[in-house]
Structure 1
Amino acid sequence: MKNFNYILAILLFSFFFNESLYAQNFSGIATYKTSSQLKIELDSTAMSPAQMKAIQDKLQKQLQKEYTLAFTTSESVWKQVESLNSGPASVSSNGMEVMVADGSGNSVLYKNIAKKQFEEGSDLMGKRFIVKGELTEYEWKLTGETKKIGNYNCQKAVNSRIVDAKKFSTGMKEMEVTKDTIVTTAWFTMDIPVSNGPEKYYGLPGLILEVQRGNKTIICTKIELNPSEKIKIEKPKKGKVVTPEEYVEISEKKMEEMMKRYSGGNDGEQIEIRIGG
């Protein structure tokens, strides 16, 4: 593993040196699809196992989203492609409604790789915010594994880090915080000399084409390099500017308020929300 880390350091040095020489006007648009595996548990006898499985299958299908990453060598914009699956995923059965909202439908993420900064415009329960902060520096480790994604030769890199996983359910007065280890697997290609990727992922000597993190998978399905029409990289413009820490605090308060509203009318059924992890 040490040898692979040494190789990664050399690749990154070579990547940034070569990029400054010839890739000034390099750009492209990559299309990605996301999918998530859901496990919903309700303390209820109102649904049979078959009904619960049907709900999970329907929600998983609705959570399959499509995004585009418009990029240059130093900047990018990540946003969802409008479709019938835009917005929160929801399904109802026997008078009970289950909704999964990740806020990504109206989200626009701008990344500046050179400055290691991001700006994300996002809706939170009807209010618009612009979150400005520093990009997380991933300590990627090469594994030596390779595979093809489409026509591109890809290499595997992994990252492991500890995060706060927060849980709030009906009957609780405040969120329960636990530590969780998150392992992220990325497949990148040096055929595309851009240290970027989907969502907030970056930091490898080539474009990241696939990411696996927990129950979520993101995979590239189409790439257009140096399109004839110039790519526009625009930052989100409308919304209250907050830091990532402030946005998390606002999100948690909104979640707690929502759960407390449900507490009085769920007929003894437990509803649980997990944040992070």
Structure 2
Amino acid sequence: MKKILLPLFAIVVLLIVSFTPNTQEFQGQAIYLSKSTMELGNWGARMSEAQKKQIKARLKNRLEKTYTLNFNKEESVFNEEEKLDAISGATDSWGKNFARGEQYKNVKANELVQTQEFYGKKFLVKDGLQEFDWNMGSETKQIGQYMCFKASALVPTDELTWFDFSWGKLRRQQAQQNDSTATTPEIDMTQVVAWYTPQIPVSHGPAEYWGLPGLILEVNAGNTTMLCSKIIMNPKDNLKIVAPDKGKIVDKTEYQVTVLDKMKEMMENRGRRRSR
């Protein structure tokens, strides 16, 4: 990660905070609202507006989510609040297989510990934190009572969505492996824009995002926006900020290989049943 140059206002705020008593021992909780847009493409062009509306309502749980980030100076735990399906009243069991699990980050130790569940099997993914080469800007905006500064980074999309899989992605991967003339595919990149506040001097943020000189209150990446809607500093009850410890221990690469192998097996079995 490159050296970070702070705007003058951010430096002043950090100096004030650094001389405030007990800043090293605080805890905090931030609530984030996440919204994603869905592109229907050519498939959507053949649908009526009523059909599009019905599909978006059916997928509301996947497009709109609420998360909680509990943090202290060095550690954080990020969790999604479970919701009932908007149509059936059940939890989204299919989507759960490809959703981010409970996520623990330790910014001092550069440590990620994340729970993942795939078709009933629990994994404990242990790896380093995602690297961000942040470009610091002087642009500011107010989020709630906090003055925030803009930072941006360009990140390989697959590194931000390492826990997410799709049948389409698997088919494209297999096609590339079977095509001896295929060239090395171009790496898909995602532009990330983050807004952080030095008034809360921790390097935490929602999801994979971290590494700025203040809590990240808003992130825009691809078709998803995460916005902090509430912050509670030093709550009366101590927050539980510990790494999860249940599941088969793997790193990100091992987890991806395991899931893709299982998806290939399922695809092959489905093909055999159709050919009978």
Query: Counterpart of 1:251 in structure 2: which amino acid?
Result: V
Deviations 1:150-198 (A, max 9, x none): 1111111100133459875497681655411211111111111111010
206, 209, 212: which one aligns with 2:217? 209
Match of 1:39 in 2: 39
Deviations 1:12-70 (A, max 9, x none): 8x95993998422111111111111112457699x733354124422452221111101
**Change beyond 3 A, Cα 1:109–1:121:** same
**Change beyond 3 A, Cα 1:42–1:123:** farther
Match of 1:49 in 2: 48
User: 2:5–2:136: 8 Å Cα contact kept in structure 1?
Assistant: no
User: 2:69–2:79: 8 Å Cα contact kept in structure 1?
Assistant: yes
Match of 1:225 in 2: 233
1:252 aligns with 2:251: no
Deviations 1:119-170 (A, max 9, x none): 0011112110000000022111122221111111111110013345987549
- Higher helix residue share: 2
User: 1:171–1:263: 8 Å Cα contact kept in structure 2?
Assistant: no
In structure 1, C-alpha distance between the alignment counterparts of 2:82 and 2:96, rounded to whole Å: 16
User: 2:7–2:138: 8 Å Cα contact kept in structure 1?
Assistant: no
Deviations 1:171-228 (A, max 9, x none): 7681655411211111111111111010121111110011111011111111100011
1:67-82 equivalences in 2 (<5 Å): 67-82=67-82
Match of 2:182 in 1: none
1:235 aligns with 2:229: no
- Structure 2 alignment gaps of length 5 or more: 160-164, 177-184
1:130 aligns with 2:124: yes
In structure 1, C-alpha distance between the alignment counterparts of 2:99 and 2:193, rounded to whole Å: 21
SS at match of 1:24: helix
SS at match of 2:60: helix
In structure 2, C-alpha distance between the alignment counterparts of 1:101 and 1:175, rounded to whole Å: 27
In structure 2, C-alpha distance between the alignment counterparts of 1:191 and 1:110, rounded to whole Å: 23
Match of 1:88 in 2: 92
User: 1:116–1:134: 8 Å Cα contact kept in structure 2?
Assistant: yes
User: 2:14–2:199: 8 Å Cα contact kept in structure 1?
Assistant: no
User: What is the Cα deviation at residue 263 of structure 1?
Assistant: 5.4
1:104 aligns with 2:108: no
In structure 2, C-alpha distance between the alignment counterparts of 1:209 and 1:258, rounded to whole Å: 40
SS at match of 2:6: helix
Identity %: 33
Query: Counterpart of 1:118 in structure 2: which amino acid?
Result: L
TM score, norm. by length of structure 1: 0.77
- C-alpha root-mean-square deviation of aligned residues, in Å? 3.6
User: 1:195–1:204: 8 Å Cα contact kept in structure 2?
Assistant: yes
User: 1:168–1:175: 8 Å Cα contact kept in structure 2?
Assistant: no
- Higher strand residue share: 1
User: 2:14–2:201: 8 Å Cα contact kept in structure 1?
Assistant: yes
The number of residues matched between the two structures is 252
Moved more, 128-137 or 17-26: 17-26
Query: Counterpart of 2:84 in structure 1: which amino acid?
Result: L
1:139-218 equivalences in 2 (<5 Å): 139-164=133-158, 168-169=167-168, 174=174, 176=176, 178-218=186-226
In structure 2, C-alpha distance between the alignment counterparts of 1:215 and 1:57, rounded to whole Å: 15
Query: Counterpart of 1:104 in structure 2: which amino acid?
Result: A
User: What is the Cα deviation at residue 104 of structure 1?
Assistant: 3.2
In structure 2, C-alpha distance between the alignment counterparts of 1:140 and 1:44, rounded to whole Å: 36
**Change beyond 3 A, Cα 1:29–1:172:** closer
Query: Counterpart of 1:148 in structure 2: which amino acid?
Result: Q
In structure 2, C-alpha distance between the alignment counterparts of 1:125 and 1:201, rounded to whole Å: 27
In structure 2, C-alpha distance between the alignment counterparts of 1:31 and 1:207, rounded to whole Å: 12
In structure 1, C-alpha distance between the alignment counterparts of 2:272 and 2:61, rounded to whole Å: 29
TM score, norm. by length of structure 2: 0.77
